[in-house]
Amino acid sequence: MTIHVERNDHLATITINREPKLNALDYPAVDALLAALDRLDADDAVRAVVLTGAGRRAFSAGADIPSLAASVAGGTERALREIVRRGHALTRRIEEFPKPVIVAVNGLAYGAGCEIVEAAPLALAADHATFAKPEITLGFPPPFGGSQRLPRHVGRKRGLEMILTGDPIPAARAAEIGLVNAVVPAADLLGAARDLAGRITRHAPTAVAACLRSVTRGINLPIDEGLAVEAACFAATVPTDGVRDGLRRFLDRPGRA
């Protein structure tokens, strides 16, 4: 089983389960990950998702190179179909997922593994984790969206340094430039990710989904267009139980004049 899903109350944990291959993503693993996300999206009981890798060495070493090489050998159209379109579908699905996806980076996150971190709304890293964009050593640019998302997150010059050199950076540097939210001891990683999920899922799911949608859709738009997205997301929450309950709790607080 290349993708393992565990449920615990409102939280689902997805584990990329190819530890002998450093959790590299071959095509069946990508497809299984997409299918798992589809199932969790449709499950109203699931309020948040933690995504991690099996073992301690790697979150994911990236795309499975033998699979990738076979696609490239098949020509441009096959490579675009099997690598780029599949990779874009995965990272876009993670980026636009209506429930918070928290990546728990338990080791190296290279290539496609790093691109998943970039696509996710939240990420925590173990203190021994490393991040790299080594695609240039294979002769091509990042194909899972990394040439676009990374510079948007960390800035053009910082992003290009990683993309053009292929050099790894440690977890502390990833946090410093905003690639991950925080660095924690490896033994505490999953606990910290689950704690973060709990701090989010205590709020109304309609509010959480609206916040995710507003930021994801608006972040790269001109400010006026982004404000229109924000207004639409706010409007969608007005008739919900989440707003009614939240306002009632505030107004009913003891000691309010």
Q: Which two tokens stand for residue 20?
A: 């002998």
Q: Which two tokens stand for residue 59?
A: 């979150």
Tell me the sheet residues that pair with 184.
126
Per DSSP bridges, beta strands 182-184 and 169-170 are unpaired
Residue 3 φ/ψ, nearest 5 degrees:
-130, 120
Q: How far is CA 155 from CA 109, 114, 127, in A?
A: 19, 16, 23
Q: Which one is catalytic: 82, 95, 96, 135?
A: 135
Q: Is 135 a catalytic residue?
A: yes
* Single-letter residue type at 57: R
8 Å CB contact between 105 and 125: yes
What pLDDT tens digit does each residue of the chain (257 aa) get?
A: 799 999 998 999 999 999 999 999 999 999 999 999 999 999 999 999 999 999 999 999 999 999 999 999 999 999 999 999 999 999 999 999 999 999 999 999 999 999 999 999 999 999 999 999 999 999 999 999 999 999 999 999 999 999 999 999 999 999 999 999 999 999 999 999 999 999 999 999 999 999 999 999 999 999 999 999 999 999 999 999 999 999 999 998 887 65
Q: Which one is catalytic: 6, 77, 96, 115?
A: 115
Question: Taking the mean position of all CA atoms in its chain, how far away is CA 202?
Answer: 20
Q: Which two tokens stand for residue 78?
A: 């096959």
